[in-house]
Chain A
Amino acid sequence: MSRKKQEAQAATVQVKKLTLREKIWRHRVLILMCLPAIIFFLAFSYAPLPGIYVAFVQYNYRNGIFGSKFIGLGNFDFLIKSGELFTLTRNTILYNLAFILLGNALAIFVAILLNEMRSKWFKKVSQTIMFLPYFISQVLVGILVFNLLNFDTGFVNGILEKMGAPLWQPYSNPGAWPVLLVIIYLWQQTGYNSVVYFAAIMGIDSETIEAARVDGANGFQKIRYIILPSLKPTIIILLLFALGGIVKGNFGLFYNVVGTNPLLYSTTDIIETYVYRATVNLFNFSTASAVGLYQSVVGFVIVMVVNGIVKKIDPDYSLF
Chain B
Amino acid sequence: MKKKLLAVLLTAAMVMGITACGGNGDGGSSAGSSGGGSAQVDTSELVTITYLTTNDRPSGEAEQRYLEMMEQLNAILEEKVNAHLDIYFLSWTDYLSNYNLLLASMDGTVDLVGTATDWLDAWPNAKNGAFLELSEEMLQTYAPKTWESVPAEHWDLCKYNGNIYLMPEDNYAQWTNHGFIYRLDWAKDAGLADGVKSWDDMTTYFKYVTDHKDELGINYAWDSDATQYGQMGGGWITSHSDYVSIDGINSGAMWGGKKGDLYTIYSPYMTDTDSLVEYAKMMKEWDEMGVWSTDVLNRGQNTNRDDFRVGLVAAEQHHTQTWTDLVSHTEANKIFDTDPDAEVGFFYFGEESKNVVALNITHGAMAVSAGSKNPERALMVYDLIRNDPDCYRLFNYGIQGVSWDLNDEGMRITPEGYNSDTDNINGITNYWWGRNDDLEIRDAQKNWDAIDKLYAEYDSLKIDYPYGQFVPDVENIKGNIENINTIYEKYMKQISYGKYSGTAEDIVAQFQAELKAAGIDDVTAELQKQINEVYGK
Q: Name A's B-contacting residues (CB within 8 A).
A: 24-25, 28, 31-32, 35, 38-39, 42-43, 46-48, 50-51, 58-67, 74, 77-78, 81-83, 146, 150-152, 169, 171-172, 258-263, 265, 274, 277-285, 287
> A64 with B226: in contact, given A42-B17, A48-B21, A263-B499 (CB under 8 Å)?
no
**Do B294 and A169 touch across chains, with their CB atoms under 8 A apart?**
yes
Contact, CB under 8 Å: A150 / B129: no
4 other A-B residue contacts (CB within 8 Å) besides A59-B128, A171-B298: A31-B6, A47-B16, A62-B29, A63-B29
The 4 closest A-B pairs by CB, nearest first: A47-B17, A64-B25, A62-B129, A78-B479
Selecting from B158-166, B275-283, B480-488, the interface stretch reads B480-488
Q: By the criterion CB–CB under 8 Å, are B29 and A284 in contact?
A: no
Instruction: State the Cβ distance, B19 to closest chain A Cβ, in Å.
Output: 9
Q: Which of B76-84, B422-430, B489-497 contacts the other chain?
A: B489-497
- In the bound assembly, the distance between CA atoms of A63 and B31 in angstroms comes to 10
- Within 8 Å by CB of B26, from A31, A64, A260, lies A64
B21 and A50: CB pair below 8 A?
yes
**CB-CB contacts of B23-45 with A at 8 A, as 1s and 0s?**
01110110110000000000000
Q: Within the complex, what minimum Cβ distance (angstroms) separates A166 from chain B?
A: 14
User: Would you give the shortest CB distance from B93 to chain A, in whole angstroms?
Assistant: 10
* Segment touching A, from B96-104, B260-268, B334-342: B96-104
Question: Which residues of A lie under 8 Å from residue B480 when comparing CB positions?
Answer: 78, 81
Whole-angstrom CA separation of A282 from B16 in the bound complex: 32
Residues of A within 8 A of B478 (CB): 77-78, 282, 284, 287
Report how far A277 CA is from B486 CA in the complex, Å.
Answer: 6
Is B13 a contact of A43 with CB atoms below 8 Å? yes
A63 with B129: CB separation less than 8 A: yes
* Interface pair B482/A25, CB less than 8 Å apart: no
The CA of A127 and the CA of B106, in the complex, are separated in Å by 47
**B171 interfacial by beta-carbon distance below 8 Å:** no
Within the complex, what minimum Cβ distance (angstroms) separates A11 from chain B?
A: 25
- Is B536 an interface residue, CB under 8 A from the partner? no
Docked-complex contact B13 and A42, CB < 8 angstroms: yes
Report the nearest A residue to B492, measured CB to CB. A262
Q: Which of B3, B14, B106 contacts A28 (CB 8 A)?
A: B3
Residue numbers in A under 8 Å from B97 (CB-CB): 280, 283
Please measure, in the bound complex, the distance between the C-alpha atom of A10 and the C-alpha atom of B485, giving whole angstroms. 56
Q: A51-B21, A64-B24 are in contact. Are A259 and B297 (CB under 8 A)?
A: yes
Are A64 and B28 in contact, CB atoms less than 8 angstroms apart? Answer: yes
What chain B residues lie within 8 Å of A65 (beta carbons)?
21, 24-25
Contacts of B25 in A (CB 8 A): 63-67
Tell me which of B18, B226, B298, B370 has the highest count of chain A C-beta atoms within 10 A of its own C-beta. Answer: B298
Assess the A61–B479 pair: CB atoms within 8 A. no
Contact of A283 among B96, B250, B251 (CB under 8 A): B96
Give A277 to B483 CA distance when docked, in angstroms.
9
